[in-house]
Amino acid sequence: MTEVTLRVVLVAAAALVATGVHGALSQQSIVMIMMGLELVVNGLVLATGGIWWAEGRPGNASVLVVVLVTVMAVEMATGFAVALALYRARRVDLADDAAELAR
Amino acid sequence: MVVSLARPLLRLTARRPHVLTIAPAPTSDDLLAVRLAAEIELARRGWPTADSPADADLVRVAGEVGPRMARVVRAVWATVPAPRGLVSVDSVGELPEALDAAVAWLARDGADASVASDGPSLTPDVRTASSSHVAPAMADLADADRDGLALDALHVALGPVLPHWPAGLVVHATLAGDLVTDARAEVLDVPGPREPTGPRRRTPRGPDHLRLDALVRVLGLAGADRAAARARTLRDGVPVPGELPAFGRRLARSRTLAWTLRGIPLSATDHVPVPEPTVEARVRALAAGLGGSLAPPVRPAPHRAAAALVGLELGAARLALAAMDPDTGLGAGPVDAHRPAAAHHEHHG
Amino acid sequence: MADPATLLPLLLLAPALVVVAGLAAAAGAVTTGGRPGTPAVETLRLLTKQRRRTPADDPLLARIGLTVLPVAAVLALAVVPLGLPGTGAPVDLDVGLVWFNAMEVLAWFAVWTAGWGPNAATALVGGYRVLPLGLAYELPHMLAITTPAIAAGSLDPATVADAQHGLWYAVWMPVAFLLYLVSTAAMAFWGPFAAPLGRDLAGGAAAEHAGLDRLLLRAGRWMLLVAAAAMAVPLFLGGGAPPPITGPDPFGGPPWLWVGIKLLVVLALLLGLRRLMPVLRMERFATLAWTVLIPLAVAQALVVTVVVLL
Amino acid sequence: MTLLVLVAALGLVAVVAGIGVFVADSMARATFLLLASFVAVAVVLLAFGLTYLGVVVVLMMTIEMMIMVVFMVMLMMNPAGLEPMTMVHNRRGSRVIALGVFAVLAAGALLVPWPTSAPAPTTARGTDLMGPQMLTMAVLGLTLLAAIVGTVALSVSRGPARGGGR
């Protein structure tokens, strides 16, 4: 039973990751790209949690994921701040335009 | 709603209705007297003031309104949830009677929305309007154009139905988020501006009354409820000698109030609406002048006051406007309301 | 889980919170010069009132937000040790403090969607104001919660309460206690921090909500305030234990009674705070949080950590 | 068995909400759905006995969504509109890639023999949730503080440029 549950969790996690990848690749707005990346992380968290549960050793290591989650939140905030600075400077908030500016 | 159960409840709740007052610009002393009497009557009965149409049980029109204002009344009335009542008062004398009638009516039939919107009028004072023939809200208080909110404009008509708002005034504002980037004043049904010429217009109100009226609004908006209630009592009653200066000194000394009001400039790009440079200084001057023999406070024309709001956050702009206390009797406008470029966007009414 | 003795507190939790929140609202009405019966009359009034929609609105999102607010308050209270017989808290959770904070944070998301839903300028700006308020006060709040947790070495509120034998944390870390009270008012967007529902915005996030919707928002706010105030009892006031000044148990008394008395004290302090301060504008409350409260919170947390480590 | 059903249902909710993020026609709904997806995952973690992890996911992600909303209000073309919002490019390519990612990951999930021992989350819980997490919470708060200060500094350093249109 444990194994079936784990596989279900992992498939769901895979679907979350795939959805996130699709969103991050297909969306133009920086905000929406961020949302895609968030979904990928969501899937990773789910998968990690499932594996730990199945192995029966959550404990201390879960702190690691917490730190990961925080770092990600921080990263998102700063990512947005950079996007905002970019917007202020260049008046773009779409990924394509930013790429064009880089050329 | 089960009628048998709702009736006693209605009787209970109708004893304390929330009242939304719509007052036209005080172009005459009579209109001003009706608005002030309406506020006194409300305080006497202990009825709360409604913050918005959604919060109202009773819509009270204080004074005879012109065609533009009448459209606002209809638009606001259409958005008031049942049970509800509409009272229109043209003179001071009929005020208590009209309110009593409205409450009796609320307690009896109010629960049914259809009765409220289509029922026959009880007395000439208690009118009901059908929501079917409501004109688009020119000046509804919550008229948002959300299309282009990304660092660009949200065009909003602020007023005339907002708490502690100058009677009859509409400020056509452009907001970037909550920052006012453009503001033009219009006083409904009173074209203007008529600059105050020569000696000040004769008014039955003394300088202290004007000061207290402005202070009631600023304090009310700042959430200093007890001080606002005190200012209202002093304004509406006959203060004992010495009471006014004492209250003024207390306000001028209040550190928390000063700290709350700090940092709001009162200036426009091309003129100075009031002598005081900031809201804090203005409030201190209003408070310090209480009970003294100083000249009445300077009240700017609406369009000048509106120009001073540009660059302020919405909450700060509300405080600034209340502190400047523009004389809407001078009139302003009319202003072309902002029309969105895309025709598909429907404003609500 | 199936044991009725543990289920009963859970079932009674929501009604109890509603009752206490109602009493707090009545006390609040008295301190602002009203009658104690006003909140009850207001509740009945809003129940008989029609609900209302605005053009081009998003009622689903708004109502989800309005419902989440009281639910989050109940869920936050669920991990507070109330001194009930048997277990301490209705739900014993070893990371209760983090859960508690998470539920409070969910509540501001609820207010933001409630302000967003009606598609109207005043409500929208009210919703916006929740964002800087929440972000500015979550940090001092989190630090004020963490400081007693560091001292007690546990994220379980019951353990934190038990760790205060002899000395209440309100005495040992007064700055954290004060910060907790102030940030609690901010988390419940209440009193000096009521800008999201400000009168200058005609009620802000509540401006376009009528009837039951409005009731959920107003009652949910009081419930959140009471739930957050209740957590101050185990965190800073020794939980269900009688005051340590009185020596070893001269009064005794059931723990829930002491929790109740201490809760009343905390609520009285909060009501006093409202009398003290007018409603703060966004610029003012942000300045207060970033320049005063957060440095204070960090300093207090550092002091406590150093003392605990030594 | 109950656990399996619960986990499957919540997993489905998380995925559907996740897809909804990119289908929704307003930014507010997209943010809300993303949060819903995170909360569903957090409940799965709670059901697995990973209490701390689950609760922290709810806490951090809600705060993150609020930060996201702040930037969304500032940056998006159409943050408030309830009008249909489509801002996509290379839709087909990304769809193919996403399906490929899903196929590979799902195959891994189903075919790899995952090590399973008797799950005993309750014993592991509570043993070492005392000391280290304190420090984590403190560090967490400080990191957030640093990030937000940095963010604010970056955002406001260019002065009041708010009125500009595009």
How high is the ipTM of this complex?
0.82
* DSSP state string for A45-78: HHHHHHHHHHHT--GGGHHHHHHHHHHHHHHHHH
CA distance B158 to chain D (A): 19
Chain B residues in contact with D69 by the CB 8 A cut-off are none
Chain C residues in contact with D45 by the CB 8 A cut-off are none
Q: Could you say which DSSP state residue C86 is in?
A: S
Using CA atoms, how far apart are residues C271 and C39, in angstroms rounded to an integer?
15
CA distances to B275, B284, B316 from B215, rounded to whole Å, are 17, 10, 15
Contact between C184 and C138 under an 8 Å Cβ cutoff? The reply is no
pLDDT digit string (tens) for D129-142? Answer: 444 455 555 566 66
Which of B109-113, C137-141, C173-177, C245-249 shows the lowest per-residue confidence on average (mean pLDDT)? B109-113
Longest dimension (CA), chain B: 64
CA distance D3 to chain B (A): 42
CB of C53 within 8 Å of any CB in chain B?
no
For A94, the 3-state DSSP assignment is strand
Interstrand relation of B169-176 and B154-158 (parallel, antiparallel or unpaired) = antiparallel
CB environment B163-189: b (16+ within 10 A), e (fewer) = bbbbbbbbbbbbbbbbbbbbbbbbbbb
Residues above pLDDT 70, as percent of chain B:
78
Handedness of CA C60, C62, C65, C67 (dihedral sign): negative
- The CA-to-CA distance between both ends of chain D, in Å, stands at 56
Residue type, A91: R
Which among A29, A42, A94 has the least Cβ separation from residue D37?
A: A42
Tell me the residues of chain B between 254 and 313 that have a Cβ less than 8 Å away from chain C: 256-257, 259-260, 262-263, 313
Q: Two tokens at D36?
A: 């819903």
Interstrand relation of B154-158 and B126-127 (parallel, antiparallel or unpaired) = unpaired
CB D66 to CB C109 under 8 A? yes
Which of A48-57, B159-168, D20-29, D141-150 shows the lowest per-residue confidence on average (mean pLDDT)? D141-150
CA distance A31 to chain D (A): 6
Q: Could you say which DSSP state residue C250 is in?
A: S
Phi, psi dihedrals of residue B158, rounded to the nearest 5°: -90, 130
Under-70 pLDDT residues of chain D: 73-90, 114-166
Which of B44-48, B302-306, C53-57, C272-276 shows the lowest per-residue confidence on average (mean pLDDT)? C53-57
CB C121 to CB B175 under 8 A? yes
Q: Two tokens at C233?
A: 């009892």
Contact between B105 and B87 under an 8 Å Cβ cutoff? The reply is no
Tell me, letter by letter, the H, E, C secondary structure of B195-221.
CCCCCCCCCCCCHHHHHHHHHHHHHHH
Contact between B45 and B19 under an 8 Å Cβ cutoff? The reply is no
- Residues B266, B271, B276: CA angle, nearest 5 degrees: 35
- pLDDT, position B122: 30
- pLDDT, position A65: 65
Residue C115 CB contacts under 8 Å (≥ 6 apart), including other chains:
C123, C124, C125, C126, C127, C128, C130, C196, C204, C205
How buried is C290 (Cβ within 10 angstroms: 0-12 exposed, 13-18 middle, 19+ buried)? middle
CA distance C92 to chain B (A): 40
CB of D137 within 8 Å of any CB in chain A?
no
Using CA atoms, how far apart are residues C250 and C259, in angstroms rounded to an integer?
17
Using CA atoms, how far apart are residues C146 and B112, in angstroms rounded to an integer?
52
Which among C125, C214, C278 has the least Cβ separation from residue B257?
A: C278
Residues above pLDDT 90, as percent of chain C:
23
CB of C202 within 8 Å of any CB in chain B?
yes
Provide the pLDDT confidence category of residue B15 given band limits of 50, 70 and 90: confident
How buried is B149 (Cβ within 10 angstroms: 0-12 exposed, 13-18 middle, 19+ buried)? buried
Contact between C92 and C111 under an 8 Å Cβ cutoff? The reply is no
CB D62 to CB C106 under 8 A? yes
CB of B118 within 8 Å of any CB in chain C?
no
Residue B198 CB contacts under 8 Å (≥ 6 apart), including other chains:
none
Closest C-alpha to B247, from B258, B232, B259: B232
Closest C-alpha to B76, from B86, B66, B63: B86
The CB density around residue A89, as the number of other CB atoms within 10 Å, is 11
CB C142 to CB D145 under 8 A? no
Which among D61, D120, D148 has the least Cβ separation from residue A77?
A: D148
The chain-wide mean pLDDT, for chain A, equals 73
Tell me, letter by letter, the H, E, C secondary structure of chain B.
CCHHHHHHHHHHHCCCCCEEEECCCCCCHHHHHHHHHHHHHHHHHCCCECCCHHHCCEEEEECCCCHHHHHHHHHHHHCCCCCCEEEEECCHHHHHHHHHHHHHHHHHHCCCHHHHHHCCCCCCCEECCCHHHCCCCCCCCCCCCCCCCCCCCEEEEECCCCCCCCCCEEEEEEEECCEEEEEEEEECCCCCCCCCCCCCCCCCCCHHHHHHHHHHHHHHHHCCHHHHHHHHHHHHCCCCCCHHHHHHHHHHHCHHHHHHHCCCECCCCCCCCCCCCEHHHHHHHHHHCCCCCCCCCCCCCHHHHHHCCCCCEHHHHHHHHHHHCCCHHHCCCCCCCCCCCCCCCCCCC
**H helices present in D24-90, as ranges:** 27-47, 51-75
Closest C-alpha to C79, from C70, C88, C71: C88
Rounded to a whole number of angstroms, the CA Rg of chain C reads 19
CB of D118 within 8 Å of any CB in chain A?
yes
Residues above pLDDT 90, as percent of chain A:
5
pLDDT digit string (tens) for B181-227? Answer: 888 888 888 887 776 554 455 566 788 888 899 999 999 999 888 88
CB of C195 within 8 Å of any CB in chain B?
yes
Residues above pLDDT 90, as percent of chain B:
8
